Amino acid sequence: MTTLITNIGSLLTNDPELGTLTNAAIVLEGDRVAWVGSDLSAPAADERVDAEGRAVIPGFVDSHSHLVFAGDRTAEFNARMSGKAYTAGGIRTTVAATRAASDEQLDANIRRYFDEMLRQGTTTVEVKSGYGLTVADEARALRIAAAHTQETTYLGAHVVAPEFADAPAAYVELVTGEMLDACAPHARYVDVFCERGAFDGDQARAILTAGVARGLTPRVHANQLTQGPGVQLAVELGAASADHCTHLSDEDVKALADAHATTVATLLPGAEFSTRAVYPDARRLIDAGATVALSTDCNPGSSFTSSMPFCIAVAVRDMGMTPDEAVVAATLGGARALRRTDVGHLAPGARADLAMLDAPSHVHLAYRPGVPLVSAVWQGGARVC
């Protein structure tokens, strides 16, 4: 089965040779892109879709989310919007609600957010555990997530479990031992919240190296609230990404620039928006030579948005990114953060994951903030929205 999408006003391929094509067409065959080029030379196909001048982009790659949760933290958000500061303490509220939820409730919740994301053009989503914090609850979270995505991350080290409040070393032992044994079969990555009030540099190193020894790829919640050791640790361990990167020293920026081929700086503007914090400086990172990704961080506490277009608009408005850079970071950047070469771009051979916009170019994602511009989505070659 082949599908020809013709009359594309602007086609962002993220391919160094193809670039952004105008008056373009694309052919999908099975789950792959088979052909990309000028509308005038488009081959015939089984099915033909007229884009009527709309833009087409690769599906968004959301490389950082926390979607296995139950409950709601509206009260905490309300308090924050009246001036209260964000602390990671609220994580425990969601841990209690998640532990109390049935498998079916958690599965229905994740399904709901995946549908919401798909309608907004996101075709690849990474999902973390981290609201269970017991062996059984962390393993269950990853089992449920793995039914929806291959991009699963073990985050038993989100915060110290309440039962271990007085014995953090014993919790680290659990996270690197029995909990890791139960979770590793369902996870691709290992993550740790390296932050004051969560896990320090030594604890984070122990957790990540234990995960690596079990075949997991490391990534780090780094330098979100303070200028800690997370970024340096991520680079030192060859992590796939250092996520947040809000409070960076010059040395941190240089480390990320030097590691641009290995460790992606993943920026999560939804978190700063929803916690009324200062945004990360994307310009500083890009100018230094770092590879940057944008992602939602979707979770009920610090960033309850599932919208990549929203993150793009904020990144352009307040983080020094151009519209082109922001859309590339939300597609190709996310793919790099997940070490995926099949998504995030639209050259022949790539996965046929793409979004059509009710706009003549992808710049409108930032130019028309808050407007639902995604008008059609293909995932693995099948039209899903």
The binding site consists of 64, 66, 73, 131, 158, 221, 224, 297, 299, 301-302
| Choices 41-49, 140-148, 210-218, 301-309 (CB under 6 A): range interacting with ligand NIG | 301-309
* Helices and strands: H and E segment counts in the chain: 15, 17
Query: What are 55's strand-pairing partners?
Result: 10, 357
Site string for ligand NIG, 216-255 (x = CB under 6 A): -----x--x-------------------------------
Q: What are phi and psi of 324, to 5 degrees?
A: -60, -50
User: Which of residues 302, 306, 307, 331 is near ligand NIG by CB under 6 A?
Assistant: 302
Which of Fe ion, ligand NIG, none lies near 151, with the C-beta cut-off 5 to 8 A by kind? none
C-alpha gyration radius of the chain: 20
Binding residues for N-formimidoyl-L-glutamate are 131, 299, 301
What is the nearest approach in angstroms of ligand NIG to the Cβ of residue 32?
33
Per the CB < 8 A criterion, the answer to whether 222 and 230 are in contact is yes
User: Which of residues 91, 234, 240, 286 is near ligand NIG by CB under 6 A?
Assistant: 91
User: Which of residues 34, 49, 88, 286 is near ligand NIG by CB under 6 A?
Assistant: 88
What does the block give as tokens for 6?
A: 């013709």
Task: Report the half-sphere exposure of 113 (CA within 13 A, side-chain side).
Answer: 29
What is the nearest approach in angstroms of ligand NIG to the Cβ of residue 137?
15
Looking up tokens 């609850």 gives: 137
What is the nearest approach in angstroms of ligand NIG to the Cβ of residue 280?
12
According to DSSP, the β-strands at 374-379 and 382-383 are antiparallel
Q: What are phi and psi of 215, to 5 degrees?
A: 90, 10
User: Which of residues 76, 195, 272, 297 is near Fe ion by CB under 5 A?
Assistant: 297
What is the nearest approach in angstroms of ligand NIG to the Cβ of residue 92?
9
What is the nearest approach in angstroms of Fe ion to the Cβ of residue 280?
13
Query: Is 94 among the residues that bind ligand NIG (CB under 6 A)?
Result: yes
Q: Kindly give the residue spans of alpha helices, DSSP state H, lying in 164-300.
A: 168-176, 178-183, 201-213, 230-236, 250-258, 269-274, 282-288
Looking up tokens 């599908």 gives: 3
Binding residues for Zn(2+) are 64, 66, 221, 297
Q: How far apart are CA 266 and CA 189, in angstroms?
A: 15
Site string for ligand NIG, 66-85 (x = CB under 6 A): x-------------------
Task: Report the half-sphere exposure of 3 (CA within 13 A, side-chain side).
Answer: 18
Positions in 185-214 near ligand NIG (CB under 6 A): 193
Binding residues for Fe(3+) are 64, 66, 221, 297
Q: How far apart are CA 42 and CA 34, in angstroms?
A: 11
User: Which of residues 98, 299, 306, 307 is near ligand NIG by CB under 6 A?
Assistant: 299
The b/e string for 154-180 (b: 16+ C-beta within 10 A; e otherwise) is bbbbbbbbeebeeebeebbebbbeebb
Per CB under 5 A, residues contacting Fe ion are 297
Per CB under 6 A, residues contacting ligand NIG are 66, 88, 90-91, 94, 193, 221, 224, 271, 297, 299, 301-303
